[in-house]
Protein backbone atom coordinates (compact mmCIF):
# COMPACT_ATOMS: atom_id res chain seq x y z
CA UNK A 1 0.00 0.00 0.00
CA UNK A 2 1.65 3.21 -1.19
CA UNK A 3 0.24 6.70 -0.79
CA UNK A 4 1.91 9.53 -2.66
CA UNK A 5 2.40 13.02 -1.22
CA UNK A 6 3.01 15.77 -3.77
CA UNK A 7 5.56 18.54 -3.23
CA UNK A 8 5.32 21.78 -5.20
CA UNK A 9 7.68 24.70 -4.78
CA UNK A 10 6.29 26.41 -1.69
CA UNK A 11 4.53 23.36 -0.25
CA UNK A 12 4.97 23.33 3.54
CA UNK A 13 3.02 20.46 5.04
CA UNK A 14 4.39 17.69 2.83
CA UNK A 15 6.65 16.35 5.58
CA UNK A 16 3.70 16.35 7.96
CA UNK A 17 1.53 14.56 5.43
CA UNK A 18 4.18 11.89 4.91
CA UNK A 19 4.49 11.40 8.67
CA UNK A 20 0.72 10.94 8.88
CA UNK A 21 0.59 8.61 5.89
CA UNK A 22 3.40 6.53 7.41
CA UNK A 23 1.00 5.53 10.16
CA UNK A 24 -1.24 3.71 7.66
CA UNK A 25 0.80 3.08 4.51
CA UNK A 26 4.11 3.59 2.79
CA UNK A 27 4.54 7.29 1.97
CA UNK A 28 5.96 8.11 -1.46
CA UNK A 29 7.25 11.60 -2.19
CA UNK A 30 5.97 12.90 -5.54
CA UNK A 31 7.61 15.88 -7.22
CA UNK A 32 5.60 18.54 -9.04
CA UNK A 33 7.79 18.40 -12.13
CA UNK A 34 7.58 14.62 -12.51
CA UNK A 35 4.37 13.25 -14.05
CA UNK A 36 5.20 9.72 -12.86
CA UNK A 37 3.01 8.72 -9.91
CA UNK A 38 5.31 5.78 -9.13
CA UNK A 39 2.47 3.30 -8.83
CA UNK A 40 0.86 4.82 -5.77
CA UNK A 41 -2.55 3.66 -4.60
CA UNK A 42 -3.68 7.11 -3.55
CA UNK A 43 -2.48 10.72 -3.66
CA UNK A 44 -2.37 13.41 -0.97
CA UNK A 45 -1.99 17.02 -2.09
CA UNK A 46 -0.72 18.65 1.09
CA UNK A 47 -0.98 22.14 2.47
CA UNK A 48 1.34 25.09 2.25
CA UNK A 49 1.83 27.98 -0.09
CA UNK A 50 2.56 26.47 -3.48
CA UNK A 51 4.03 29.19 -5.67
CA UNK A 52 3.71 31.55 -2.74
CA UNK A 53 -0.09 31.70 -3.18
CA UNK A 54 0.80 34.26 -5.81
CA UNK A 55 -1.83 35.41 -8.27
CA UNK A 56 -4.54 33.26 -6.65
CA UNK A 57 -4.32 30.32 -4.26
CA UNK A 58 -3.65 27.09 -6.13
CA UNK A 59 -3.75 28.77 -9.53
CA UNK A 60 -0.19 28.08 -10.66
CA UNK A 61 0.39 24.68 -9.02
CA UNK A 62 -2.66 23.31 -10.77
CA UNK A 63 -0.69 23.33 -14.04
CA UNK A 64 2.31 21.32 -12.79
CA UNK A 65 3.20 18.19 -14.78
CA UNK A 66 2.28 15.99 -11.81
CA UNK A 67 -1.23 17.38 -11.76
CA UNK A 68 -2.02 16.00 -15.21
CA UNK A 69 -1.32 12.56 -13.85
CA UNK A 70 -3.23 13.24 -10.66
CA UNK A 71 -6.24 14.37 -12.68
CA UNK A 72 -6.12 11.20 -14.79
CA UNK A 73 -5.68 9.08 -11.65
CA UNK A 74 -8.70 10.73 -10.05
CA UNK A 75 -10.85 10.26 -13.16
CA UNK A 76 -10.09 6.54 -12.97
CA UNK A 77 -11.42 6.50 -9.43
CA UNK A 78 -8.15 6.67 -7.50
CA UNK A 79 -8.45 8.26 -4.06
CA UNK A 80 -7.13 11.82 -3.91
CA UNK A 81 -7.13 13.93 -0.75
CA UNK A 82 -6.45 17.67 -0.90
CA UNK A 83 -5.62 19.40 2.35
CA UNK A 84 -5.76 23.19 2.68
CA UNK A 85 -3.65 24.41 -0.25
CA UNK A 86 -4.24 20.95 -1.74
CA UNK A 87 -7.99 21.57 -1.53
CA UNK A 88 -7.50 24.91 -3.27
CA UNK A 89 -5.46 23.25 -6.01
CA UNK A 90 -8.08 20.52 -6.58
CA UNK A 91 -10.75 23.19 -6.92
CA UNK A 92 -8.62 25.13 -9.40
CA UNK A 93 -8.01 21.89 -11.30
CA UNK A 94 -11.73 21.30 -11.57
CA UNK A 95 -11.62 18.02 -9.68
CA UNK A 96 -13.76 19.51 -6.94
CA UNK A 97 -16.60 22.03 -7.19
CA UNK A 98 -16.26 25.57 -5.91
CA UNK A 99 -13.43 27.83 -4.87
CA UNK A 100 -11.77 29.16 -1.72
CA UNK A 101 -11.93 32.90 -1.04
CA UNK A 102 -9.99 34.93 1.53
CA UNK A 103 -11.23 34.49 5.12
CA UNK A 104 -13.91 36.95 6.06
CA UNK A 105 -11.56 38.79 8.45
CA UNK A 106 -8.73 38.74 5.89
CA UNK A 107 -6.43 37.24 8.49
CA UNK A 108 -4.51 34.03 8.67
CA UNK A 109 -5.90 31.98 11.58
CA UNK A 110 -4.32 28.91 13.19
CA UNK A 111 -6.82 27.28 15.54
CA UNK A 112 -8.05 23.86 16.64
CA UNK A 113 -11.59 23.48 15.25
CA UNK A 114 -14.36 20.93 15.57
CA UNK A 115 -15.79 19.38 12.41
CA UNK A 116 -18.96 17.37 11.95
CA UNK A 117 -19.00 14.46 9.55
CA UNK A 118 -21.81 14.91 7.00
CA UNK A 119 -21.21 11.97 4.73
CA UNK A 120 -19.49 8.63 4.98
CA UNK A 121 -19.75 7.97 1.25
CA UNK A 122 -16.07 8.73 0.67
CA UNK A 123 -13.12 6.46 1.37
CA UNK A 124 -11.76 9.05 3.76
CA UNK A 125 -14.80 9.22 6.00
CA UNK A 126 -15.71 5.55 5.66
CA UNK A 127 -14.23 5.08 9.14
CA UNK A 128 -16.67 7.61 10.62
CA UNK A 129 -20.38 7.84 11.37
CA UNK A 130 -22.47 10.76 10.21
CA UNK A 131 -22.52 13.26 13.06
CA UNK A 132 -19.10 12.31 14.44
CA UNK A 133 -17.15 15.28 15.73
CA UNK A 134 -13.49 15.55 14.80
CA UNK A 135 -11.07 17.95 16.50
CA UNK A 136 -8.52 19.05 13.91
CA UNK A 137 -6.38 22.18 13.55
CA UNK A 138 -7.10 24.62 10.74
CA UNK A 139 -4.61 27.22 9.57
CA UNK A 140 -5.13 29.32 6.49
CA UNK A 141 -5.86 32.74 5.10
CA UNK A 142 -8.07 31.68 2.19
CA UNK A 143 -10.49 29.06 3.40
CA UNK A 144 -13.86 30.64 2.79
CA UNK A 145 -15.59 28.05 0.65
CA UNK A 146 -18.02 29.11 -2.04
CA UNK A 147 -19.57 27.01 -4.76
CA UNK A 148 -22.53 25.15 -6.17
CA UNK A 149 -22.20 21.88 -4.39
CA UNK A 150 -24.93 19.27 -3.95
CA UNK A 151 -25.47 18.62 -0.26
CA UNK A 152 -24.52 14.96 -0.61
CA UNK A 153 -21.05 16.08 -1.65
CA UNK A 154 -20.53 18.10 1.52
CA UNK A 155 -18.41 15.80 3.66
CA UNK A 156 -17.46 17.98 6.62
CA UNK A 157 -18.89 21.08 8.20
CA UNK A 158 -17.50 23.29 10.94
CA UNK A 159 -19.32 22.73 14.21
CA UNK A 160 -21.28 25.68 15.48
CA UNK A 161 -18.97 28.51 16.47
CA UNK A 162 -15.98 27.03 14.66
CA UNK A 163 -16.37 28.54 11.20
CA UNK A 164 -13.83 31.36 11.43
CA UNK A 165 -13.38 31.85 7.72
CA UNK A 166 -16.97 32.59 6.69
CA UNK A 167 -17.46 29.49 4.54
CA UNK A 168 -20.83 29.09 2.91
CA UNK A 169 -23.07 26.83 5.01
CA UNK A 170 -20.11 26.07 7.32
CA UNK A 171 -18.58 23.85 4.67
CA UNK A 172 -15.15 22.55 5.68
CA UNK A 173 -14.72 19.73 3.18
CA UNK A 174 -16.32 18.54 -0.06
CA UNK A 175 -15.99 15.53 -2.35
CA UNK A 176 -16.59 14.97 -6.04
CA UNK A 177 -19.75 13.15 -7.12
CA UNK A 178 -17.98 9.78 -7.09
CA UNK A 179 -16.57 10.40 -3.63
CA UNK A 180 -13.01 9.41 -4.51
CA UNK A 181 -11.69 12.98 -4.49
CA UNK A 182 -12.01 15.02 -1.34
CA UNK A 183 -10.70 18.36 -0.19
CA UNK A 184 -10.81 20.01 3.21
CA UNK A 185 -9.32 23.17 4.72
CA UNK A 186 -8.43 21.83 8.20
CA UNK A 187 -5.31 19.70 8.53
CA UNK A 188 -5.97 16.07 9.47
CA UNK A 189 -2.24 15.34 9.14
CA UNK A 190 -1.71 17.61 12.15
CA UNK A 191 -4.05 15.49 14.27
CA UNK A 192 -2.58 12.01 14.08
CA UNK A 193 -0.54 11.94 17.26
CA UNK A 194 -1.56 13.08 20.74
CA UNK A 195 1.93 14.36 21.50
CA UNK A 196 1.89 17.06 18.83
CA UNK A 197 -1.66 17.09 17.52
CA UNK A 198 -3.79 17.70 20.56
CA UNK A 199 -6.03 14.97 19.09
CA UNK A 200 -5.63 11.96 16.81
CA UNK A 201 -8.98 12.38 15.07
CA UNK A 202 -7.37 13.21 11.75
CA UNK A 203 -5.87 9.76 11.54
CA UNK A 204 -9.31 8.36 10.73
CA UNK A 205 -9.31 10.06 7.34
CA UNK A 206 -5.98 8.47 6.45
CA UNK A 207 -7.11 5.08 7.72
CA UNK A 208 -10.18 5.32 5.53
CA UNK A 209 -8.09 6.31 2.54
CA UNK A 210 -5.74 3.37 3.04
CA UNK A 211 -8.58 0.93 3.60
CA UNK A 212 -10.32 1.75 0.34
CA UNK A 213 -7.17 2.24 -1.66
CA UNK A 214 -6.17 -1.33 -0.90
CA UNK A 215 -9.53 -2.79 -1.94
Write out the catalytic residue numbers.
84, 187, 189
What's the min distance (Å) between Cβ of 107 and another protein?
A: 6
Q: Which is nearer to another protein, 96 or 212 (CB)?
A: 96
Stretch in the footprint of another protein (CB under 8 A) among 21-29, 100-108, 125-133, 203-211: 100-108
**53-82 positions binding another protein, by CB under 8 A:** 53-56, 59-60, 63
Question: Binding of another protein at residue 186 (CB under 8 A)?
Answer: no
What's the min distance (Å) between Cβ of 106 and another protein?
A: 6
Q: What is the 3-class SS of the chain, one letter each residue?
A: CEEEEEECCCECCHHHHHHHHCCCCEEEEEECCCCCCCCCCEEEECCECHHHHCCCCCCCHHHCHHHHHHHHHHHCCCCEEEECHHHHHHHHCCCCCCEEECCCCCCCEEEEEEEEECCCCCCCCCCCCCCCEEEEEEEECCCEEECCCCHHHEEEEECCCCCCCCCHHHEEEEECCCCCEEEECCCHHHCCCHHHHCCCCCHHHHHHHHHHHHC
Distance of CA 55 to the CA centre of its chain: 21
Among 41, 116, 189, 207, binds another protein (CB under 8 A): 189
Question: Binding of another protein at residue 174 (CB under 8 A)?
Answer: no
What's the min distance (Å) between Cβ of 55 and another protein?
A: 5
Distance of CA 157 to the CA centre of its chain: 14
Residues 111-150: x where in contact with another protein by CB under 8 A, - otherwise, as a string: x-------------------------x-x-x--x-xx---
Among 38, 75, 104, 133, binds another protein (CB under 8 A): 104
Residues lying near another protein in the complex (CB under 8 A) are found at 9-13, 15-16, 19, 48-49, 51-56, 59-60, 63, 92, 98-99, 101-111, 137, 139, 141, 144, 146-147, 166, 187, 189-190, 193, 195-198
Amino acid sequence: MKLGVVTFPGTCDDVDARLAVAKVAEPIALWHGDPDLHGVDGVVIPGGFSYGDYLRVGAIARFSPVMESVIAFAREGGPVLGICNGFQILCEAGLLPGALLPNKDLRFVCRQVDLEVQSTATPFTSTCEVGDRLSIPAKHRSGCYTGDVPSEQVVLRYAEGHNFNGSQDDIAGVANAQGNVMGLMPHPEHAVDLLTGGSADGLRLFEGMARVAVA
